[in-house]
Amino acid sequence: MATVETVQGPVDADELGTVCIHEHVLFRDEAVAANWPTRYDPDHLFSEAVSAVNATKEHGVATIVEPTAMFGGRDVGFLKRVADETGTKLVACTGIYTYDYLPHYFQNRSEDVIAEHFVEDIEKGIEGTDAKAGFLKCAADQPGVTENVEKVHRAVARASLQTGAPIMAHSAPSANTGPRQVEIFLDEGVAPEKIQIAHCGDTNDVGYIEGLLDKGVWVALDRYGLDMFQPWAERQKTAAALIERGHANRIFMSADFCATIDWFPEEAVEGLLSGGLIDEDWSMTLVFERAVPELREQGVFDDDTFQQVFVENPRAWLTA
Ligand SMILES: [Zn+2]
């Protein structure tokens, strides 16, 4: 029986149940948080995380894949507290979330040395705890696959080869990053079934997405509610097209919700919501409350599709 590492320890893959593939219980800049801790209210961060996770339980969710890496304020102690409080299994990651910048520490070290850091999180435990990372994370965005981004991708690939851990790569379809990201992983020798390209739903170009699927990787339609990157109706059209074309066994659906995020001052967040850039119902449950029911009404989604997309696909990727 394959097992998957959660912050509460390894679980049998069959116990993962219904899975949210991409939701954040906390997202903040760890350097700001370390230097100005009083700018954050720990009780507020915790209660927002707990209520977001608890809401998913009403939809039968048993496991949340939590892809917060370095520069997103990954905090395994916080994840453990949320998991203990809610009873939900949380799968943590290792990796670096950067669109280009690397600290001198990693700038002046090789891909192999960077990979050693990731391997430590996967084999020994994260941040000095015995909670192990269940997957690897990296990112490419508007700057494209820069030299630094490629370095992180190669380090992630090498850590995957050493440990068997799967990879989730944040991508930016509008900057055409996906094909190059996949190319780097395959060039390093990673099996395509271990590779998940996140944020593919940010394009309505089904041909672009099928180009990735042709390589054998997973694609994620995981930003429902982030209308600034792609309007709701377009996301749904893409989802329906992919399912109708027989790709339900290779896709994920999620919202990339952040229970809290420190990127914007409060008044700016209000502007994003009132300006229609973020759906006012953006949450960890939005996919279950609106996306799936709409697709069911259109006749392209049924119970088997649900089982495939939210149970079997996550289990297959996490144990690939
Ligand atoms: Zn994310």
Instruction: Convert the pLDDT of each residue in 156-185 to its tens digit.
Output: 999 999 999 999 999 999 999 999 999 999
Q: What is the pLDDT of residue 260?
A: 95
Average pLDDT over residues 3-14: 97
CA of 261 relative to ligand 1 center, distance in Å = 11
Residues sharing a CB contact under 8 Å with residue 28, sequence separation 6 or more, in sequence order: 40, 72, 73, 260, 261, 262
* Two structure tokens written together for 319: 């144990």
CA of 179 relative to ligand 1 center, distance in Å = 19
pLDDT greater than 90 at residue 194: yes
* Two structure tokens written together for 191: 């099996």
* Two structure tokens written together for 141: 């965005």
Whole-model pTM? 0.97
* CA 35/CA 72 separation, integer angstroms: 15
Is the CA virtual torsion 64, 227, 298, 245 positive or negative?
A: negative
CA of 267 relative to ligand 1 center, distance in Å = 22
Which DSSP category does 228 fall into?
T
Average pLDDT over residues 289-297: 98
Helices (H), the chain: 30-35, 42-57, 76-86, 104-107, 111-123, 147-163, 178-188, 206-213, 232-244, 266-274, 286, 292-297, 303-307, 313-318
CA of 254 relative to ligand 1 center, distance in Å = 10
Q: Which of 4-8, 19-23, 94-98, 262-266 has the lowest average pLDDT?
A: 262-266
Average pLDDT over residues 209-223: 98
CA of 10 relative to ligand 1 center, distance in Å = 23
CA of 68 relative to ligand 1 center, distance in Å = 7
Q: What is the pLDDT of residue 266?
A: 85
Mean pLDDT of the chain: 97
CA of 2 relative to ligand 1 center, distance in Å = 26
CA of 161 relative to ligand 1 center, distance in Å = 23
The answer to whether 144 and 173 have CB atoms below 8 angstroms apart is no
Q: What is the pLDDT of residue 1?
A: 75
* CA 236/CA 201 separation, integer angstroms: 9
3-state secondary structure of 39: helix
Q: How confident is the model at residue 284 (pLDDT cuts 50, 70, 90)?
A: very high
Other CB atoms closer than 10 Å to residue 58's CB: what's the count? 10
